[in-house]
Amino acid sequence: MKSVLFLHMQFFNLHTHKFTNDAAALELVNQYPWEFDDTIPQYSIGIHPWYINEERLASDLNCIEEKLQLKQCLALGECGLDKRIEVPMALQIDVFEKQIAFAEKYQKPLVLHLVAAFDELLEIKKRLKISVPIIIHGFSKNEQVARQLIANGFYLSFGKYLLQNPEMKEVFQSIPNDRFFLETDTIEATLEEVYTLAAEYKGMTLAEMKAQVEENWLAVFDGVDL
The per-residue pLDDT for range 159-185, each reduced to its tens digit, is 999 999 999 999 999 999 999 999 999
Could you give the dihedral angle defined by the CA atoms of residues 30, 35, 39 and 43, in that order, rounded to the nearest 10 degrees? 20
Predicted pLDDT of residue 9: 52
Q: In sequence order, what E strands does the chain have? A: 11-16, 25-31, 43-45, 73-82, 110-115, 134-136, 155-158, 180-182
Handedness of CA 171, 173, 176, 177 (dihedral sign): positive
The architecture (CATH level 2) of 2-221 comes to Alpha-Beta Barrel (3.20)
How far apart, in whole angstroms, are the C-alpha atoms of residue 125 and residue 135?
Answer: 13
Predicted pLDDT of residue 111: 98
pTM (predicted TM-score):
0.93
Predicted pLDDT of residue 219: 94
Spatial neighbors of 9 by CB under 8 A, at least 6 apart, are 24, 25, 26
Q: What is the pLDDT of residues 2-38, one digit of tens each?
A: 444 444 457 999 999 999 988 899 999 999 999 999 9
Whether 208 has a binding-site annotation, put simply, is no
Q: Under DSSP, is residue 206 helix (H, G, I), strand (E, B) or coil? A: helix
**Average pLDDT per run of 10 along the chain, which is 226 residues long?**
47 95 92 96 97 98 98 97 97 98 98 96 97 97 96 97 97 98 94 97 97 95 62
Whether 17 has a binding-site annotation, put simply, is no
Backbone torsions φ then ψ of 178, nearest 5 degrees: -95, 15
Predicted pLDDT of residue 3: 42
H/E stretch holding 194: helix 191-202
- Residues listed for the chain: 226
How far apart, in whole angstroms, are the C-alpha atoms of residue 83 and residue 35?
Answer: 25
Predicted pLDDT of residue 223: 56
Predicted pLDDT of residue 4: 40
Predicted pLDDT of residue 2: 43
Predicted pLDDT of residue 23: 87
Backbone torsions φ then ψ of 27, nearest 5 degrees: -105, 120
Whether 15 has a binding-site annotation, put simply, is no
Whether 137 has a binding-site annotation, put simply, is yes
DSSP characters for 115-178?
ES-HHHHHHHHHHHT--S-EEE-S--S-HHHHHHHHHTT-EEEESHHHHH-TTHHHHHHHS-TT
Spatial neighbors of 133 by CB under 8 A, at least 6 apart, are 109, 110, 155, 219, 220
